Amino acid sequence: MDRLDRDVRLGEVFTPAAPIDRLQLFAGREAQRRAVLDAVLQRGRHVAIFGERGVGKTSLASVLHEYLEGLGQSILAPRVNCDDGDDYAAIWRKAFDALRFIEQRRGIGFAPPLEESVRSATSLISGDGPITPHTVRMLLEQLSARQTLVIVVDEFDRVAGRLGTQMADTIKMLSDQSVPATLVLVGVGESVSALIAQHESVERALAQVLMPRMSLWELQQIVDGGLDVVGLRADPIVRDRIAALSQGLPHYTHLITLAAARHANDRAADLVETEDLAAGVRSAVSHAQETITTTHHRAVMSARSDSLYRQVALACALAQCDERGYFTAGAVRRPLAAVMGRPYEIGSFAKHLNEFCADGRGPILEKIGARRNYRYRFRNPLLPPYIVMSGITQGLISDDDAAGIQSSLD
Ligand SMILES: Nc1ncnc2c1ncn2[C@@H]1O[C@H](COP(=O)(O)OP(=O)(O)OP(=O)(O)O)[C@@H](O)[C@H]1O
Ligand SMILES: [Mg+2]
Q: Is the CB of 384 under 6 A from ligand 1?
A: no
Q: What is the whole-number distance in angstroms between the Cα of residue 304 and the centre of ligand 1?
A: 39
Question: Per-residue pLDDT tens for 324-342?
Answer: 889 999 999 999 999 999 9
Question: Per-residue pLDDT tens for 129-164?
Answer: 788 888 899 889 988 887 889 999 999 999 999 998
Query: What pLDDT is attached to residue 328?
Result: 95
**Nearest CA, atom 25, ligand 1:** 53
Query: What average pLDDT does range 250-273 have in this prediction?
Result: 97
Q: Give the SS3 label for residue 396.
A: coil
- Non-local (6+) Cβ contacts of 360 within 8 A are none
Beta strands in 66-192 (DSSP E): 75-76, 79-81, 100-106, 114-120, 148-154, 181-188
Which of 50, 58, 153 most suits a substitution to test ligand 1, by most atoms within 8 Å of the C-beta? 58
Query: What average pLDDT does range 166-187 have in this prediction?
Result: 92
Separation CA 156–CA 260 (nearest Å): 35
Separation CA 260–CA 74 (nearest Å): 40
Ligand nearest to the CA of 18: 1
- The answer to whether residue 239 scores a pLDDT higher than 90 is yes
Q: Is the CB of 251 under 6 A from ligand 1?
A: yes
Separation CA 344–CA 23 (nearest Å): 48
Ligand nearest to the CA of 60: 1
**Nearest CA, atom 15, ligand 1:** 56
Helix (H) or strand (E) holding 377: strand 375-378
For ligand 1, what atom is nearest to the CA of residue 188? 25
For ligand 1, what atom is nearest to the CA of residue 29? 1
Complete domains list, the chain, with CATH: 29-211 (3.40.50.300), 215-286 (1.10.8.60), 290-407 (1.10.10)
Q: Is the CB of 250 under 6 A from ligand 1?
A: yes
Please answer whether residues 362 and 299 qualify as being in contact, where contact means their C-beta atoms are separated by less than 8 angstroms: yes
Query: What pLDDT is attached to residue 55?
Result: 94
Q: Is the alpha carbon torsion for 319, 322, 324, 326 positive or negative?
A: negative
Query: What pLDDT is attached to residue 206?
Result: 93
Query: What average pLDDT does range 14-30 have in this prediction?
Result: 94
Query: What pLDDT is attached to residue 72?
Result: 81
Please answer whether residues 20 and 278 qualify as being in contact, where contact means their C-beta atoms are separated by less than 8 angstroms: no
Separation CA 99–CA 150 (nearest Å): 10
Query: What pLDDT is attached to residue 395?
Result: 95
Question: Per-residue pLDDT tens for 351-390?
Answer: 999 999 999 898 999 999 988 889 999 999 999 999 999 9
- The answer to whether residue 103 scores a pLDDT higher than 90 is no
251 φ, ψ (degrees, to nearest 5): -50, -45
Q: Are strands 46-51 and 181-188 parallel, antiparallel or unpaired?
A: parallel
Q: Which of 272, 274, 221, 219 is nearest to 243 (CA)?
A: 219
Instruction: Report the interhelical angle of 160-176 vs 88-98 (nearest 10°).
Output: 60
Please answer whether residues 217 and 28 qualify as being in contact, where contact means their C-beta atoms are separated by less than 8 angstroms: yes
- The answer to whether residue 410 scores a pLDDT higher than 60 is no
Query: What average pLDDT does range 290-309 have in this prediction?
Result: 90
Query: What pLDDT is attached to residue 334?
Result: 94
Question: Per-residue pLDDT tens for 193-226?
Answer: 888 877 677 888 999 999 999 999 999 999 999 9
- Non-local (6+) Cβ contacts of 279 within 8 A are 259, 260, 263
Q: Give the SS3 label for residue 182.
A: strand
Q: Is the CB of 27 under 6 A from ligand 1?
A: yes
User: What's the mean per-residue pLDDT of the chain?
Assistant: 91
Separation CA 167–CA 156 (nearest Å): 10
Please answer whether residues 7 and 223 qualify as being in contact, where contact means their C-beta atoms are separated by less than 8 angstroms: no
Q: Is the CB of 257 under 6 A from ligand 1?
A: no
Polymer length in residues for the chain = 410
pTM: 0.91
Q: Is the CB of 29 under 6 A from ligand 1?
A: yes
Query: What pLDDT is attached to residue 276?
Result: 97
Q: What is the whole-number distance in angstroms between the Cα of residue 391 and the centre of ligand 2?
A: 28
Q: Is the CB of 59 under 6 A from ligand 1?
A: yes
Separation CA 106–CA 199 (nearest Å): 46
Q: Is the CB of 57 under 6 A from ligand 1?
A: yes
Q: What is the whole-number distance in angstroms between the Cα of residue 277 and the centre of ligand 1?
A: 21
Q: Is the CB of 56 under 6 A from ligand 1?
A: yes
Please answer whether residues 116 and 103 qualify as being in contact, where contact means their C-beta atoms are separated by less than 8 angstroms: yes
Which of 50, 59, 210, 223 most suits a substitution to test ligand 1, by most atoms within 8 Å of the C-beta? 59
Q: Is the CB of 20 under 6 A from ligand 1?
A: yes
Query: What average pLDDT does range 62-77 have in this prediction?
Result: 88
Q: Which of 143, 53, 43 is nearest to 98 (CA)?
A: 143
**Nearest CA, atom 9, ligand 1:** 56
Q: Is the CB of 28 under 6 A from ligand 1?
A: yes
Separation CA 103–CA 142 (nearest Å): 13
Query: What pLDDT is attached to residue 404?
Result: 84
Question: Per-residue pLDDT tens for 277-297?
Answer: 999 999 999 999 899 999 999
For ligand 1, what atom is nearest to the CA of residue 222? 4
Separation CA 362–CA 42 (nearest Å): 46
Question: Per-residue pLDDT tens for 105-123?
Answer: 777 777 787 888 788 877 7
For ligand 1, what atom is nearest to the CA of residue 186? 22
